């Protein structure tokens, strides 16, 4: 159900959302944040229709004790930009008004941790309320790890996205509304095909590849819970609050790069392919993974400077 808007900003909010939809942005983007802002203004600034610093900061200060405000800042920034485009003197938050949190270093699993994790996924207990889940755990995480797909990309997959004849998966409307088609290891596709047969027997009327018990796609929280249960059952390190299904994507990238290092591959030649495969917008996003392997980088031939920098002649 779409929210309704009633404050002095209602017209501009609706027009902005319609305009963003024409540009290809997701219809629900910032909807909840702007609906909350609209309710606040209807109560506290009923006669105001132009975004000012006073209104913006008043609203953000009112909500920041209950939750983070980064998405709300982005929503107000877009509203201010839209009003400014319409010729109104609206405030526009700088893009870096709130500095971004320092990016956490992803957890890179060793071979034993990976083996224990997938063994736990293979042995996920049967649940009569959701009988497919015992198979989902083994397949969805292997698919993500073997391809580096984002967790939301695997959740959104449909049956039509799988080409079992050519071992490819089509990822539609992913991050920044980009589509791509990726090759998948044959063994993983065989597993996916078997899973699809089981899923169609249990839920024959759904087109979702990984359906939940309501025959719809899983939400992020349910897959994260599934991941944590497998992680805990595997006996892997506890206390990693930020350990989520996304680390499978990180591990895919770092292991692929590690393999290239050990094989002496030309990074300039291979990294653009990895960038396109993973759906990165910029080459810089892919190069980020090089920072996760300082120990291996230090052992590469290209890091040996013994023949480049001559010994210094020191005076006694």
Q: What is the pLDDT averaged over residues 121-149?
A: 93
Element (H or E) spanning 12, and its range? Answer: helix 10-22
Question: Is 208 in the same domain as 142?
Answer: yes
What is the tens place of the pLDDT at every residue in 165-221? 999 999 987 665 678 899 999 999 999 999 999 999 999 999 999 999 999 999 988
Element (H or E) spanning 252, and its range? Answer: helix 246-263
The C-alpha atoms of residue 218 and residue 212 are separated, in whole angstroms, by 6
The C-alpha atoms of residue 85 and residue 15 are separated, in whole angstroms, by 12
Point out the domain boundary residue: 222, 250, 273.
222
Residue 238 lies in a domain: no
Domain tally, the chain: 2
Residues 6+ apart with CB under 8 A from 52: 90, 91
User: Residue 316 has what pLDDT?
Assistant: 44
What is the tens place of the pLDDT at every residue in 220-236? 889 999 999 999 999 98
Element (H or E) spanning 121, and its range? Answer: helix 111-122
Residue 140 lies in a domain: yes
User: Residue 301 has what pLDDT?
Assistant: 47
The C-alpha atoms of residue 268 and residue 286 are separated, in whole angstroms, by 12
Question: Is 169 in the same domain as 217?
Answer: yes
User: What is the per-residue DSSP string for 157-168?
Assistant: -BGGGEETTTTE
Question: In the predicted model, is pLDDT for residue 107 greater than 70?
Answer: yes
Question: How many other β-carbons are positioned within 10 Å of the β-carbon of residue 284?
Answer: 9
Question: Is 217 in the same domain as 136?
Answer: yes
Query: Where are any strands of DSSP class E within 51-179?
Result: 162-163, 168-171
Residue 279 lies in a domain: no
Question: Is 59 in the same domain as 138?
Answer: no
pTM: 0.63
Point out the domain boundary residue: 222, 249, 284.
222
Point out the domain boundary residue: 187, 207, 222.
222
Question: Is 144 in the same domain as 57?
Answer: no
Phi first, then psi: give them for residue 240, nearest 5 degrees: -95, 80
What is the tens place of the pLDDT at every residue in 24-47? 777 667 888 899 999 999 999 988
Question: Is 142 in the same domain as 78?
Answer: no
**Band of pLDDT at residue 302, cut at 50, 70 and 90:** very low
Collapse the DSSP code of 163 into the 3-class scheme (helix H, G, I; strand E, B; otherwise coil) and give the result.
strand
Element (H or E) spanning 183, and its range? Answer: strand 180-183
Find out whether 91 and 56 touch, Cβ atoms under 8 Å.
Answer: yes
Residue 310 lies in a domain: no
Distances (CA, A) of 308 to 73, 303, 304, 305, 313: 50, 10, 8, 5, 15
**Band of pLDDT at residue 312, cut at 50, 70 and 90:** very low
The C-alpha atoms of residue 60 and residue 107 are separated, in whole angstroms, by 33
Q: At what angle do helices 10-22 and 31-44 cross, to 10 degrees?
A: 170
Question: How many other β-carbons are positioned within 10 Å of the β-carbon of residue 311?
Answer: 6
What is the tens place of the pLDDT at every residue in 6-22? 899 999 999 988 888 87
Residue 80 lies in a domain: yes
Residue 159 lies in a domain: yes
Residue 107 lies in a domain: no
**Band of pLDDT at residue 308, cut at 50, 70 and 90:** very low
CA 37 to chain CA mean position, Å: 26
Q: What is the pLDDT averaged over residues 139-164?
A: 95
Find out whether 75 and 82 touch, Cβ atoms under 8 Å.
Answer: no
What secondary structure letter does DSSP report for 101?
Answer: P
Residue 105 lies in a domain: no
Question: Is 129 in the same domain as 213?
Answer: yes
Element (H or E) spanning 182, and its range? Answer: strand 180-183
Q: What is the pLDDT averaged over residues 247-269?
A: 84
Question: Is 79 in the same domain as 129?
Answer: no
Beta bridge partners of 162: 169
**Band of pLDDT at residue 289, cut at 50, 70 and 90:** confident
Question: Is 213 in the same domain as 153?
Answer: yes
Find out whether 143 and 184 touch, Cβ atoms under 8 Å.
Answer: yes
Find out whether 191 and 175 touch, Cβ atoms under 8 Å.
Answer: no
CATH number of the structural domain spanning residue 190:
1.10.443.10
Domain span including residue 43: 10-85
Element (H or E) spanning 285, and its range? Answer: helix 283-287
Question: In the predicted model, is pLDDT for residue 48 greater than 70?
Answer: yes
**Band of pLDDT at residue 68, cut at 50, 70 and 90:** low
């Amino acid at each position: 159900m779409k929210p309704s808007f009633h404050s002095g900003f209602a017209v501009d909010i609706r027009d902005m959302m319609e305009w963003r939809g024409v540009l290809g942005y997701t219809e629900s983007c910032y909807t909840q944040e702007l609906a909350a802002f609209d309710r606040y203004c209807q109560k506290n600034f009923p006669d105001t229709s132009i975004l000012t610093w006073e209104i913006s900061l008043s609203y953000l200060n009112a909500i920041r004790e209950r939750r983070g405000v980064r998405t709300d800042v982005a929503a107000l920034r877009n509203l201010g930009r839209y009003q400014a485009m319409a010729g109104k003197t609206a405030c526009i938050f700088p893009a870096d008004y709130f500095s971004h949190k320092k990016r956490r270093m992803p957890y890179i699993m060793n071979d034993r941790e990976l083996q224990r994790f997938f063994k736990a996924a293979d042995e996920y207990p049967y649940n009569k309320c959701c009988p497919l889940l015992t198979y989902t755990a083994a397949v969805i995480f292997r698919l993500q790890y073997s391809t580096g797909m984002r967790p939301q990309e695997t959740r959104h997959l449909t049956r039509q996205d799988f080409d079992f004849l050519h071992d490819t998966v089509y990822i539609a409307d992913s991050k920044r509304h980009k589509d791509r088609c990726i090759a998948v290891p044959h063994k993983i596709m065989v597993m996916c095909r078997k899973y699809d047969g089981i899923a169609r027997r249990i839920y024959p009327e759904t087109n979702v590849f990984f359906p939940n018990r309501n025959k719809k796609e899983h939400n992020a929280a349910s897959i994260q819970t599934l991941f944590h249960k497998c992680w805990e059952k595997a006996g892997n390190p506890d206390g990693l609050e930020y350990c989520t299904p996304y680390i499978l994507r990180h591990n895919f990238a770092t292991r692929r790069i590690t393999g290239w290092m050990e094989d002496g591959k030309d990074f300039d030649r291979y990294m653009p392919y990895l960038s396109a495969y993973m759906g990165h917008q910029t080459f810089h996003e892919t190069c980020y993974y090089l920072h996760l392997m300082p120990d291996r980088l230090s052992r590469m031939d290209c890091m040996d400077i013994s023949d480049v920098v001559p010994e210094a002649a020191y005076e006694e």
